[in-house]
Amino acid sequence: MLLQISGVFNPEEVAKIRAALEAANWLDGKITAGWQSGKAKHNQQLAEDDRLAREISSLILQRLWTHPKFVSAVLPLKVFPPLFNRYGVGESFGYHIDNAVRAVKNSTEQVRTDVSTTVFFSDPESYDGGELVIQDTFGTQRVKLAAGDLLLYPASSLHRVEPVTRGVRLASFFWTQSMVRDDGKRRLLFEMDQAIQSLTADMPEHPALLQLAGTYHNLLRQWAEL
């Protein structure tokens, strides 16, 4: 499932985050790349233990862990803390698939990477190129979102970031281990949950709501891995 969530951060919040990122200490992006993806990765990144990275990471997770649409779509269990990248002119990231499991720095925690998330912090008009291109069962999608928006997609997808030809692309990216490993099952649960919410808003006394909610939770009980 590929899903856009708009307005996770408002323009004022985005401006503050972007200003901080523009003044950050950027390093070679290969510091977190595996052997295979490292050959295709040409960008800059904040160190995982960078103070600014930890501060903005905390803001992102606080916002998303209470965001109804994110929670409904991802069904989060564990998260690999958000990372931050910068693409300047000529920088790109060729086709790759994310590592299946990632170890959290300075921790014994390991996270299975079920869902990838990218949060955009640069206004799309401020740079050319830099589209996130994703290939999966939904076809090939080219994505360049407004600052403050995010994109969810299966971490198993083949994807790339096209070369930036003007300006700078700033973003955060991270992975979530879902309670439901299978993307198809997560999509069915998300669609059912959205339908239940819509029916609740339109016809809160409808007798089918109890049955639908019960079916949703019984499916989640059957598929969840905790």
Binding-site residue numbers are 96, 98, 159, 169
Q: Report the distance separating Cα 61 and Cα 40, nearest Å.
A: 28
Torsions phi, psi of 116, nearest 5? -95, 145
Are the C-beta atoms of 218 and 185 separated by less than 8 Å? no
Q: Which two tokens stand for residue 214?
A: 């019960």
Binding-site residues from annotation for 2-oxoglutarate: 169
DSSP code of residue 171: E
The string of DSSP codes covering 92-151 is EEEEE---SEEEPTTSS-EEE--EEEEEE-S-GGG-EE--EEEEETTEEEEE-PPTT-EE
Binding-site residues from annotation for Fe cation: 96, 98, 159
